[in-house]
Amino acid sequence: MLISRKLAAAFNEQIGHELGAELQYLAIAAYFDRRHLKLLSKLFFAQADEEKQHALKFVHYILDTQGDLQIPAIPAPKPTFASAEEAAAAALKWEEEVTGQINKLMAQAVEETDYMAQSFLQWFIDEQLEEVVKMDRLLSIIRQSGERNLLMVEAYLVHVEQ
Ligand code: FEO
């Protein structure tokens, strides 16, 4: 086994967090879809896909290192939001929490001098910077446009997507 039981358990827990994020981002995508804000919806559907990929990276790592794969129960996502700002703020808070979780995993890998796990986790460290910045910017433009002008956010996203 190329992974300690303790680190495998922590990775399994992280699979739960990543799949939980997938469900939460699907709920956010649906919230924007119901409001006919198609690009905001598309952004969160894409983000949900990314979270699934994150979970799969951990699944494959555990399998490759012959650890025990034990996927935990995934809590139900918050189904709806009072405003676009609340939805984007929840996404930012989530990404900040995940950054903390990944940092803890890296600290554990360092403590165990598990260089293989450190190399694996470095990708997530870099990814979290990207994801926190993405959600922080999104929240900022939603705040600047205000709830009544979310079509301007859609127009902004058309521009960003080009
Ligand atoms: Fe898997 Fe958005 O962190």
In order along the chain (162 residues), what is the average pLDDT of each group of 10 residues?
A: 97 98 98 97 98 98 98 96 98 98 98 98 98 97 96 92 66
Q: Is 22 in the pocket of ligand 1 (CB under 6 A)?
A: no
Give the Å distance between the CA of 147 and the centre of ligand 1.
Answer: 26
Per-residue tokens: 102: 């990944």
Give the Å distance between the CA of 113 and the centre of ligand 1.
Answer: 25
152/133 Cα distance (integer angstroms): 20
pLDDT at 104: 98
Domains and CATH numbers, the chain: 5-161 (1.20.1260.10)
- The residue type found at 126 is D
pLDDT at 22: 98
Determine the Cα angle at 58 with ends 51 and 107, to 5°: 105
pLDDT at 13: 98
pLDDT at 159: 87
pTM of the predicted model, to two decimals? 0.96
67/39 Cα distance (integer angstroms): 40
pLDDT at 117: 98
Give the Å distance between the CA of 54 and the centre of ligand 1.
Answer: 7
Per-residue tokens: 144: 């600047």
156/61 Cα distance (integer angstroms): 38
pLDDT at 162: 61
Please give the full DSSP string across 64-105, using - where no structure is assigned: HTT----PPPPPPPP---SSHHHHHHHHHHHHHHHHHHHHHH
